[in-house]
DNA sequence: GTGAAAGCGCTAACAT
DNA sequence: ATGTTAGCGCTTTCAC
């Protein structure tokens, strides 16, 4: 493997001049620039990134920190984040924290040792204090202190869901989902938007929630169906929950959407093969991914950034009238 | 940030002794070991991994190279791989190659510059020659030259699929999927197993394939349904294809499984919420992930390894009788 | 504009 | 069993 020394020698210049050409930094005359470039080509020189990372104390690696990549929404988001990072010269390290606080802390320690450039994260724990001010970080769908974040318009999405259910003639509405006692999640704003819209409208509604994470979603949903037989319109926290409710309703011969309308949240593409069965509030996943990367890079460069909230849209499937 | 020098000074020992304690290498007396350990604790010392990577020319990072993490089977596999790597002290860099050969090549160059320890990969291209012998690598579901790989028993799975379809009374069978002209994919062995079983049995069958990647799967499947109306048993290349065929059949009022039985391949969990609708040949994803990591680490340590093929099982859903 | 040289923090000979 | 020291390849002052 050729080193910068070899390049300098072959080009007949000093190491720092070679470095300047390689990094396009500082002043180099056109003629020496060409000499160095020639040497680089001849030797097939490529910089040793571990040496660079060591010297600059910056690995040009961004960590994506999430509970599990094995989740439709996250894996779609991860795809776009990786793509955007790559286009900006960063690599992506993937960390499945499994929501376990011990594992999250040990990951953070590892990330510091490896001098990652920054973190894009979703955490269910209050570990942010460990990182903030010591590393650039941008959160997804979490609003903690002054840490910048990117989310979809969860509140607005909740309002839209209410409106759609009402406009399509539902009389007895319910929100189903989970709540968190520790971290204030953006997800809960979906509920808030739904509730506020219902209150403004003066319509009654039911809130059926369990503490996050819900251990047995199937049991949770079955209980809901048997307990609230008169509900004819449901807004579920996310598509996975909505989809399972849809399946359970079919099993119990409840006609969807005639007797029960269902709206999910996410609009994840994995289920496109199902011919868009589910009505849902769709998050602009790709845009969010790019936006996360953009914000993080600004933070890395030291700029101050403000949260970004992306608009959502209702996508009609077959679970609403 | 405390360095190893600080530790050595505080402990009153030489740098290399401190290094020995930190790395548990070489001989160190019990008493000095304790002194060093104390110093480490007092200073809150953690090794600078970029320096280590630089000196050893090994970043302890493994790259997971796949077409797209945004795919149910891959994201599940990635989850288990990351978990196993983490348990072995490795980090995981995620590279979405999008199957594009230019992007794959530029990733490989990047990985070399970053001194990754090894690669776990799925590639649709013949880039393996670029890596082989220059870096430890293990492939998923690809059999290229002498490169070690891990796969499920695709051939056996194909045989099982045939047997199930036949045993449940189907008369006119078909295999649907894709074929590749460049790389010999393990996936095609599913077809081979199916064909061989049919031939042994003496039963006629149809092979309906298109070159990979199939641009418009919906059109592809619709064409199949209209062209082969008498087929009553289908083995599809993967679950996504099987699932869409199922949906299209329903749309066209073809009764599944009465008039048409469908078996997929993968057994991915994302669709569990659908209440196991699809009959499928299930791959042991978790075991495969662990197995990939195990093989790669053996390769990194210089051992010779042989391919590992994991058994599959038929999981009955509602798309077979 | 260009080159010499220091030094990033660590590992691994090598000497003792 | 322990300490000294030479780099690893690069970036970055600092002189010229």
Please state the domain extents for chain B.
4-47, 61-151+286-310, 154-284
Closest CA to B33 of B50, B11, B59: B11
Contact between A265 and A178 under an 8 Å Cβ cutoff? The reply is: no
Kindly state the average pLDDT of the residues A170-187: 87
Q: Does A270 sit within 8 Å of B72, measured CB to CB?
A: yes
Q: Which residue is nearest to nucleotide C7 (CA to C1')?
A: A55
Q: How far is CA A50 from CA A70, A250, B65, B81, B105, in A?
A: 30, 56, 20, 24, 19
Indicate whether B183 pLDDT > 90. Answer: no
Q: Count of CB atoms within 10 A of residue B45's CB?
A: 19
Residue B272's pLDDT band (cuts 50, 70, 90): low
Q: What is the pLDDT of residue A275?
A: 62
Q: What is d(CA A32, CA A11) in angstroms, rounded to the nearest whole number?
A: 8
Q: What is the pLDDT of residue B72?
A: 87
Pick the CATH number of B61-151+286-310 from 3.20.10.10, 3.40.50.2300, 3.40.605.10, 2.30.42.10: 3.40.50.2300
Chain B nearest C-alpha distance from A65 (Å): 12
Q: What is d(CA B272, CA B281) in angstroms, rounded to the nearest whole number?
A: 14
Q: What is the mean pLDDT of chain A?
A: 93
Kindly state the average pLDDT of the residues A4-21: 96
Residue B243: list chain A partners with CB under 8 A: 273-274
CA of B49 and C1' of C8: distance in angstroms?
12
User: Which of the two residues, A174 and A183, has the higher pLDDT score?
Assistant: A174
Indicate whether A192 pLDDT > 80. Answer: yes
> In the complex, which nucleotide's C1' lies nearest to the CA atom of residue B18?
D2
User: Which of the two residues, B194 and A144, has the higher pLDDT score?
Assistant: B194
Indicate whether A155 pLDDT > 70. Answer: yes
Give the three-class secondary structure for B280.
Answer: strand
Q: Does B61 sit within 8 Å of A75, measured CB to CB?
A: no
Q: Which two tokens stand for residue A148?
A: 């910048």
Q: What is the pLDDT of residue B185?
A: 77
Residue A276's pLDDT band (cuts 50, 70, 90): low
Q: How far is CA B8 from CA A112, B34, B36, B42, B50, in A?
A: 22, 12, 7, 12, 20
Kindly state the average pLDDT of the residues B24-38: 93
Q: What is the pLDDT of residue B275?
A: 62
- Cβ of A31 near strand C (under 7 Å)? The reply is yes
Burial class (CB in 10 A: 0-12, 13-18, 19+), B167: exposed
Q: What is d(CA A163, CA A214) in angstroms, rounded to the nearest whole number?
A: 27
**pLDDT more than 90, % of chain B:** 80
Kindly state the average pLDDT of the residues B147-170: 97
Contact between B48 and B3 under an 8 Å Cβ cutoff? The reply is: yes
Phi, psi of B178 (to 5 degrees): -125, 165
- Cβ of B26 near strand D (under 7 Å)? The reply is yes
- Cβ of B259 near strand C (under 7 Å)? The reply is no
CATH number of A4-47: 1.10.260.40
Q: Count of CB atoms within 10 A of residue B14's CB?
A: 12
> Which positions on strand C lie below 7 Å from a protein C-beta?
1-14
> Which positions on strand D lie below 7 Å from a protein C-beta?
1-14
Give the three-class secondary structure for B100.
Answer: coil
Q: Count of CB atoms within 10 A of residue B282's CB?
A: 18
Indicate whether A195 pLDDT > 70. Answer: yes
The answer for residues whose C-beta is within 8 angstroms of residue B55's C-beta and 6 or more apart is none
Chain B nearest C-alpha distance from A269 (Å): 9
Q: Does A70 sit within 8 Å of B79, measured CB to CB?
A: yes
User: In degrees, to the nearest 5, what angle opens at C-alpha A118 toward C-alphas A114 and A121?
Assistant: 110
Do B61-151+286-310 and B154-284 have matching folds?
A: yes
**pLDDT more than 70, % of chain A:** 96
- Cβ of A5 near strand C (under 7 Å)? The reply is no
A215-269 residue pLDDT tens: 999 999 999 999 999 999 999 999 989 999 998 999 999 999 999 999 999 988 7
Please check whether the domain covering B154-284 is classified as CATH 3.40.50.2300.
Answer: yes
Query: Who among residues 8-37 of B has its Cβ near strand C, under 7 Å?
Result: 15-16, 19, 22-23, 25
Q: Which two tokens stand for residue A174?
A: 């319910």
Q: In what order do the strands lie in the sheet with B308-310?
A: A308-310, A149-152, A137-140, A118-121, A61-66, A91-96, B91-96, B61-66, B118-121, B137-140, B149-152, B308-310
User: Which of the two residues, A185 and A63, has the higher pLDDT score?
Assistant: A63
The answer for residues whose C-beta is within 8 angstroms of residue A72's C-beta and 6 or more apart is A239, A240, A266, A268, A270, A271, B72, B75, B270
């Amino acid at each position: 493997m050729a080193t910068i020394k070899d390049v300098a020698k072959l080009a007949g210049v000093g190491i720092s001049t070679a470095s300047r050409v390689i990094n396009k930094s500082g002043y180099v005359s056109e003629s020496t620039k060409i000499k160095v470039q020639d040497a680089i080509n001849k030797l097939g020189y490529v910089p040793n990134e571990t040496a660079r990372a060591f010297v600059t104390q910056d690995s040009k690696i961004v960590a994506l920190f999430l509970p599990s990549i094995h989740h439709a929404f996250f894996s779609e988001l991860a795809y776009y984040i990786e793509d955007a990072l790559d286009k900006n010269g960063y690599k992506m390290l993937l960390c499945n924290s499994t929501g376990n606080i011990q594992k999250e802390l040990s990951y953070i320690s590892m990330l510091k040792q490896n001098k990652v450039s920054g973190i894009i994260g979703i955490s269910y724990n209050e570990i942010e204090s460990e990182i903030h001010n010591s590393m650039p970080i941008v959160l997804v769908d979490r609003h903690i202190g002054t840490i910048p974040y990117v989310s979809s318009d969860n509140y607005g999405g909740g309002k839209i869901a209410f409106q759609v259910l009402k406009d399509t003639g539902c009389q007895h509405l319910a929100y189903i989902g989970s709540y968190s006692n520790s971290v204030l999640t953006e997800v809960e704003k979906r509920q808030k938007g739904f509730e506020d819209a219902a209150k403004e409208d003066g319509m009654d509604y039911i809130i059926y929630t369990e503490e996050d994470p819900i251990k047995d979603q199937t049991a949770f949903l079955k209980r809901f169906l048997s307990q609230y037989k008169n509900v004819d319109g449901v807004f579920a926290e996310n598509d996975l929950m909505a989809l399972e409710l849809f399946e359970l309703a079919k099993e119990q011969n409840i006609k969807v959407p005639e007797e029960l309308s269902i709206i999910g949240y996410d609009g994840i593409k994995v289920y496109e093969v199902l011919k868009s069965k589910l009505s849902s509030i769709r998050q602009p996943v790709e845009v969010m991914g790019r936006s996360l990367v953009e914000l993080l890079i600004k933070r890395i460069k030291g700029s101050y950034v403000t949260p970004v909230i992306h608009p959502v849209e209702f996508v009609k499937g077959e679970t609403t009238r």
